[in-house]
Structure 1
Amino acid sequence: MATTDHETLRILMNHRSIRRYKPDPVGDDVLLQLVQAAQMASTSSGVQAFSVISVRNPDTKKKLAALSGNQVYVEECPLFLVWCADMHRLEIAGTVGVGEPVKSARNTEQFLIATVDVALAAQNAAIAAEAMGLGMVYIGGIRNHIDEVSELLGLPELVYPVFGMCIGYPDQEPLLRPRLPLEAVLHEERYDDTRQADHISAYDQVYRAYMSERSGGKLTGSWSEAMAAKIPVPARTHLLAYLEKQGFRLE
């Protein structure tokens, strides 16, 4: 008979992005447990197409903070992890396996496999971190200057940074960010968009109240307004050229 791990659910349902940390260091023992938890995430056909780079050096964190859009918490967090999709190791594995060079297909499917693998692994680590009393926040800004980040971290061909992750002991208690109504994301048997506009309108009211409380009344915009401003703007258009330079053929 299946049982429910209420503590795990409590952790999942109380996730908040933490951007301010106590000065306490995150020890090597904790780092190892986080990465071991990451390794136990599901992975396509056992390929385990990810690597993670831990960064504690203040100078390196300062450079990464600047490259990520001057996000000061990247510099200030005790531990910064860069989660990378990694098909490079698989070519090495293929060569070990048959005793001669093996080159992967390097196509869109392998790109997706590696991207999904690293996302699943990182989320495992995020949940593990919160279970251990740590806080974290993802840093997509690591892709702002992805060439420079790759050079700084010495990334070889077929490895690319997907996002960063600040980790440390929380020094803040931010509000829980509300999510869309369950009915907007859960579909039965077939995709149903007949009431999406209604669900979004209802969420807008909740979102406005959240933003107002979070900003002390300075921000009162809705989620739909934020998305209307965001989605027409092409973001990080340099990524395709970078990925092709790293050896992927997105076709």
Structure 2
Amino acid sequence: MNQVIETLLQHRSIRKYEDRPLTDEQIRVIVESAQAASTSSYIQAYSIIGVKDREMKKKLAELAGNQAYVETNGHFFVFCADLYRHEVLAEMEGQDIYASIESTEKFMVAVIDAALAAQNAAVAAESMGLGICYIGGLRNNLEEVSELLNVPKLVIPLFGMSVGYPMQEGSIKPRLPFESVYHEEAYNKDEKQLKEQLSQYNEVISNYYIERTDGKRSDTWTGQMARMLSKPVRMYMKEFVEKQGMNRR
């Protein structure tokens, strides 16, 4: 096993950081690593907004559900789906591209490009001894987040990433069984087999929570997911995305 794989397999979310900012060089390396990620048809349909200002971090933390680690970290990155620059380049080239950039396909391309870039950034940061935590809570209040970050139409803040020097290690959450995730040749639709795998996984997760909380919590994964998914959230998203000029066709 090489060092890259070891870094990947040791990932855990870090939610407490030293009061120590990242250097400009560290930020550049993380962003350049993000840019090295694969991108569909070379479209590079994303942007990254870095936030150093403590007051702005504080506002973002409130908008994300009062998550302290959005405010207190070494640096905060916001990954955005971005087709604004493509609107600009179309004007430069005298082309009408709205049928394309308003499509669901290009919306998906932008989201996927941003996610790939973010994961490269995460691995780069962790390889430097830093910790990271993805922040999907920014999507709780995208109107306000977009206004705060001054994003134009055709740009959507998708999620944040807090990065910094860990104050605590955190624990690695067990993932789904390999067999539940990896399918060979075709999708395995054997429901009985899947339920058996999920039952076994529930035991692993329950034991993880019992050990982590000294017996105060013994959740199962299926129970946790079923409760969460039974309460729809952020149902304004389709309207917001269309208002930003994406996913209209």
TM-score class, shorter-chain normalisation, is: over 0.9
Q: Retained in 2: the 8 A contact 1:86–1:114?
A: yes
The residue number in structure 2 matching 1:103 is: 98
* Whole-Å separation in 2 of the counterparts to 1:65 and 1:83: 15
Provide the secondary structure at the position in 1 that maps to 2:233: coil
* Whole-Å separation in 1 of the counterparts to 2:163 and 2:118: 12
The residue number in structure 2 matching 1:134 is: 130
Tell me whether 1:193 sits opposite 2:186 in the alignment. no
Tell me whether 1:148 sits opposite 2:144 in the alignment. yes
1:152-192 per-position Cα deviation (integer Å, ceiling 9, x unaligned): 00000000011000000111011110001101111111111
* Whole-Å separation in 2 of the counterparts to 1:250 and 1:112: 12
The residue number in structure 1 matching 2:201 is: 203
* Cα pair distance change 1:102/1:189, threshold 3 Å: closer
1:182-220 per-position Cα deviation (integer Å, ceiling 9, x unaligned): 011111111113211111011001000111122221110
1:16-39 per-position Cα deviation (integer Å, ceiling 9, x unaligned): 000001112101100001000000
Amino acid at match of 2:213: S
Provide the secondary structure at the position in 2 that maps to 1:144: helix
* Whole-Å separation in 1 of the counterparts to 2:124 and 2:202: 32
Amino acid at match of 1:200: L
Q: Retained in 1: the 8 A contact 2:174–2:204?
A: yes
The residue number in structure 2 matching 1:49 is: 45
Which has the larger displacement, 71-80 or 121-130?
71-80
Q: Retained in 1: the 8 A contact 2:20–2:73?
A: no
How many residue pairs end up in the alignment?
246
Provide the secondary structure at the position in 2 that maps to 1:162: strand
* Whole-Å separation in 1 of the counterparts to 2:147 and 2:187: 43
Q: Which runs of structure 2 are paired with 1:1-251 in the superposition (5 Å)? A: 6-96=2-92, 98-99=93-94, 102-103=97-98, 105=100, 106-194=102-190, 195-251=193-249
Report the TM-score, using the length of structure 2 for normalisation. Answer: 0.96
Q: What percentage of residue pairs aligned between the two structures are identical?
A: 46
Report the TM-score, using the length of structure 1 for normalisation. Answer: 0.95
* Whole-Å separation in 1 of the counterparts to 2:99 and 2:211: 51
CA-based RMSD of the aligned residues comes to 1.3
Q: Which runs of 4+ in 1 moved over 6 A?
A: none
Provide the secondary structure at the position in 2 that maps to 1:146: helix
* Whole-Å separation in 2 of the counterparts to 1:27 and 1:160: 27
Q: Retained in 2: the 8 A contact 1:20–1:73?
A: yes
Q: Retained in 1: the 8 A contact 2:138–2:145?
A: yes
Provide the secondary structure at the position in 1 that maps to 2:246: coil
1:65-118 per-position Cα deviation (integer Å, ceiling 9, x unaligned): 00000001101112110100000011112222x246653521111110000000
Amino acid at match of 2:195: A
Unaligned runs of 5+ in 1: none
Provide the secondary structure at the position in 2 that maps to 1:199: helix
Amino acid at match of 2:198: I
Q: Retained in 1: the 8 A contact 2:48–2:77?
A: yes
* Whole-Å separation in 2 of the counterparts to 1:165 and 1:140: 9
Q: Retained in 2: the 8 A contact 1:80–1:165?
A: yes
Provide the secondary structure at the position in 1 that maps to 2:189: coil
